[in-house]
Chains A and B, each alone.
Chain A
């Protein structure tokens, strides 16, 4: 697993995703937690905003999915992103496959943000944020996926 993360790190640095960069300070020494700075892409609703996306890799990565959420005080306002940073994205749980990677998850999140037509929170935001099993780990939640079109 450490080897695969090393390779992912190298790939991530070699083919950076526009608007995404690794938060260097936080990666040093600990490959199991990555924080990625996300710049809202130009010509999207999030232009000019800056977010922090956190990846935590479980022991059995890549056979188990990473735990991915937005952290910090700026959480993108999006119909599939809860105000506690949890993201409703099927590839992070049910649809996870070991052929996916940090890069592919990042690309999904970028396209999710870019295709957003109107900023809003998920309809059950308030209830979910109060009742979710573990605010620091979205993987503890049993997710039901609304629709994949947004």
Chain B
């Protein structure tokens, strides 16, 4: 009786030790042995596909799943074992992250505070609708990734929107006077 129990506890110990050994190299997300392993600067191990998926889930708040320290694609280190034949950086394997889908906030300042009464103007028959169509087109174009400040595209757009602002103001004055 006693012997049997001892045996059982021994084998349990063995299996526990084995598990403990393996679990050191388990991905913290899928709990499997990490494949295409990467390690964060905070020292936590993941499969790159798993970590990538998590980073995609919270693009604006990328934190280590284990310790919550800030983390990013650039701040993880790929791990290569001795017999690892595949020397490719695992971070290059997952399809590159799709470009962030930035939606430009509606340009309130374009029609701005001084032009609050504009919606009334729509009722006036003489008002040139084509003008509006073109300005609206400009704003939809802006939904694409916004050009970086300082680039020529940015300057051009600034210039264009200023021109349209001036044109709009002239129309408003014209309507008010008419």
| A4 contact set on B, CB distance < 8 A | 29-32
A14 CB–B CB distance under 8 Å: yes
| B19 contact set on A, CB distance < 8 A | 14
| B29 contact set on A, CB distance < 8 A | 4, 62, 98-99
B82 CB–A CB distance under 8 Å: no
Measured in the bound complex, the distance between the Cα atoms of B65 and A60 in whole Å is: 15
Measured in the bound complex, the distance between the Cα atoms of B29 and A60 in whole Å is: 12
Number of interface residues of B (CB under 8 A): 15
| B30 contact set on A, CB distance < 8 A | 3-4
Name A8's closest neighbour in chain B (CB-CB).
B31
| A98 contact set on B, CB distance < 8 A | 28-29, 50, 54, 65
The A1-60 residues at the B interface (CB cut-off 8 A) are 3-4, 7-8, 11, 14, 60
The B5-47 residues at the A interface (CB cut-off 8 A) are 19, 28-32, 44
Query: Which secondary structure dominates chain B's binding surface?
Result: loop
| B31 contact set on A, CB distance < 8 A | 4, 7-8, 11, 101
Number of interface residues of A (CB under 8 A): 15
Known pairs A14-B19, A63-B54; A97 contacts B68 (CB<8 A): yes
B102-121 interface mask toward A, CB cutoff 8 Å, 1 = contact, 0 = none? 00000000000000000000
Min CB distance, B31 to chain A, in Å?
5
B163 CB–A CB distance under 8 Å: no
Q: Is the CB of B54 within 8 A of A7?
A: no
The B40-78 residues at the A interface (CB cut-off 8 A) are 44, 50, 53-54, 57, 63, 65-66, 68
| A7 contact set on B, CB distance < 8 A | 31-32
Name A15's closest neighbour in chain B (CB-CB).
B16
Per CB-CB distance, the 5 closest pairs between chain A and chain B, nearest first, are A99-B65, A97-B65, A99-B28, A98-B29, A99-B66
29 CB contacts below 8 A, A to B, read A3-B30, A3-B32, A4-B29, A4-B30, A4-B31, A4-B32, A7-B31, A7-B32, A8-B31, A11-B31, A14-B19, A62-B29, A63-B53, A63-B54, A63-B57, A64-B57, A97-B65, A97-B66, A97-B68, A98-B28, A98-B29, A98-B50, A98-B65, A99-B28, A99-B29, A99-B65, A99-B66, A100-B65, A101-B31
Residues of A within 8 A of B (CB): 3-4, 7-8, 11, 14, 60, 62-64, 97-101
